[in-house]
Amino acid sequence: MTSQYASGRSSSGLFFAFIFALLLGAAALALFLRHATTGVMSRIADRIAGRTTTYDTSVPAVVQRIQRLSRLETVVYSLDTIVEGSKSSTVLPDLLAGDRILLVVHGQAIAGIDLSKLKPEDIRITENNGVRDIHVTLPASQLFATTLDNQHTRVYARSTGILVPVDQNLESETRVRAEQQLQQTALSDGILDAARKNAQATVTTLLYSLGFQKVDVT
């Protein structure tokens, strides 16, 4: 009688231990599947759960995905220079009536492509022998902004003629001229070409991630 009772308790304990281990394993698996979202762990989780990743690669869907990048800023051009502003009299020498300022200027020009302007006709998708090709014509690159860094832009020298007061507008006018000079220098150095090349690389990477085998972005 005693040995049979002990055997019954032992079998019951093993059963509950098995159920507990099963529940614990299921909870651990669920936790793994929920949090394995990147890299090798994500691929393992997809195999366990039987999940497959698919993308809508129709023209409207691709346009929408690219447009989500919105104003894609791809180049930041920095410039340090000295800009001069001056006013002179047509009658008196600068020593008497001139006003001159030198600014040490630090500024930035930002360029990129506004992808919200992309249209469906700018995208062409073809399929040949199971290979999906896509050709995208991007909008023109543009200069988004040209700004001076006020913390690092300062007056280097200022001289005013003996007979005239300091012109309070000369510094602000010289700053405007400095922004114009920065913009022109950035354009001359090819900032728009660099912005386009960087945008092409970004969009190309995006399209390959959507599953296209051949990508041409111009």
What tens-digit pLDDT sequence spans the chain (218 residues)?
444 444 555 666 666 676 767 777 666 666 655 665 555 555 565 565 555 444 445 677 778 888 787 788 889 988 888 888 878 777 778 777 778 888 888 999 999 999 989 999 999 988 888 788 999 999 999 999 998 888 888 888 887 878 778 778 888 888 889 899 899 999 999 999 999 999 999 999 988 888 888 999 99
> 205 and 166, same structural domain?
yes
CA end-to-end span of the chain, whole Å?
A: 88
Provide the domain limits for residue 18: 2-49
Question: How many angstroms separate the CA atoms of 30 and 48, rounded?
Answer: 11
In a domain, 54, yes or no: no
pLDDT of residue 216: 93
Number of domains in the chain: 2
In a domain, 75, yes or no: yes
Give Cβ neighbours of residue 209 (< 8 Å, ≥ 6 apart): none
> 119 and 161, same structural domain?
yes
> 66 and 15, same structural domain?
no
- Name the region of 129 (left: φ>0; alpha: ψ -120 to 50; beta: rest): left
> 149 and 189, same structural domain?
yes
> 74 and 32, same structural domain?
no
> 172 and 118, same structural domain?
yes
> 86 and 34, same structural domain?
no
- Name the region of 54 (left: φ>0; alpha: ψ -120 to 50; beta: rest): beta
> 184 and 92, same structural domain?
yes
> 112 and 25, same structural domain?
no
> 185 and 145, same structural domain?
yes
In a domain, 134, yes or no: yes
In a domain, 9, yes or no: yes
In a domain, 115, yes or no: yes
In a domain, 199, yes or no: yes
> 153 and 68, same structural domain?
yes
pTM of the model: 0.64
Question: How many angstroms separate the CA atoms of 138 and 161, rounded?
Answer: 54
> 121 and 199, same structural domain?
yes
